[in-house]
Chain A
Amino acid sequence: DAGVIQSPRHEVTEMGQEVTLRCKPISGHNSLFWYRQTMMRGLELLIYFNNNVPIDDSGMPEDRFSAKMPNASFSTLKIQPSEPRDSAVYFCASSLRDGYNEQFFGPGTRLTVL
């Protein structure tokens, strides 16, 4: 099993640039989650999908953030325009079914916005 795959692993960009983070969930999983982790705020759920449909995006900080899941094997999290306060580690996770099953986390993308 390849596990959850995230790319890139590290991203350094300048303020105002567009950033796209990518995630490939584990095959057969139908729930996908995006989290952000910072020292100040800890681990925060940004958005999650069931069967490719966004279920709860209340954690998305603002309109600069958007997430898509065009199919069961791929999701993106986009920040446009990026700001220094977006610097964080972004995790993607997937599970068989939300709530009762283990979530498998990817290795994360460390984003630095200068």
Chain B
Amino acid sequence: GDSVTQMEGPVTLSEEAFLTINCTYTATGYPSLFWYVQYPGEGLQLLLKATKADDKGSNKGFEATYRKETTSFHLEKGSVQVSDSAVYFCALGTALIFGKGTTLSVSS
């Protein structure tokens, strides 16, 4: 069945460091791909999405490109901030299949 594999956390970075969170998927067809973010005590909110191969989703300095050939959708940000500290979820498909989440902690 469809699945998402997300890199294990936690990820601890200093402010202004480069961030990559890996996400790969297994799916039938070409599902939409999403990154969601969850701040402490809150529900998930969409960070970015891509609906077809080679699409790049971007928001708030975060980017991810839908790579069909490598079945990947890695999340990147060039310079993280303390306010980016949260849990990040990669997800795919019709009724979202989520990765297990990656906790990011950014220190000043």
How many residues from B make CB contacts under 8 Å with A?
20
Q: Indicate whether B3 reaches chain A with its CB closer than 8 angstroms.
A: no
CA distance A55 to B94 in the complex (A): 11
Known: A43-B89, A99-B31, A99-B93. A105 touches B98 (CB 8 A): no
Q: Report B73-108 residues with CB < 8 Å from chain A CB.
A: 89, 93-101
Interface SS of chain A: helix, strand, loop or mixed?
strand
Q: Report A75-114 residues with CB < 8 Å from chain B CB.
A: 91, 93, 98-100, 102-108
Tell me which of A43, A99, A104, A106 contacts B98 (CB under 8 A): A43
Do B101 and A98 have beta carbons less than 8 Å apart?
Answer: no
Chain B residues contacting A93 (CB-CB under 8 Å) are: 43-44
Tell me which of B31, B96, B97, B100 contacts A103 (CB under 8 A): B96
Chain B residues contacting A33 (CB-CB under 8 Å) are: 95-96
Q: Indicate whether A15 reaches chain B with its CB closer than 8 angstroms.
A: no
CA distance A93 to B43 in the complex (A): 9
Q: Indicate whether B17 reaches chain A with its CB closer than 8 angstroms.
A: no
CA distance A106 to B45 in the complex (A): 9
CA distance A54 to B34 in the complex (A): 23
For B41-82 the 0/1 string (1 means CB < 8 A from A) is 011111001010000000000000000000000000000000
Do B51 and A91 have beta carbons less than 8 Å apart?
Answer: no
CA distance A103 to B100 in the complex (A): 18
Do A105 and B94 have beta carbons less than 8 Å apart?
Answer: no
Known: A98-B94, A99-B31, A99-B94. A42 touches B46 (CB 8 A): no
Tell me which of B31, B43, B101 contacts A105 (CB under 8 A): B43
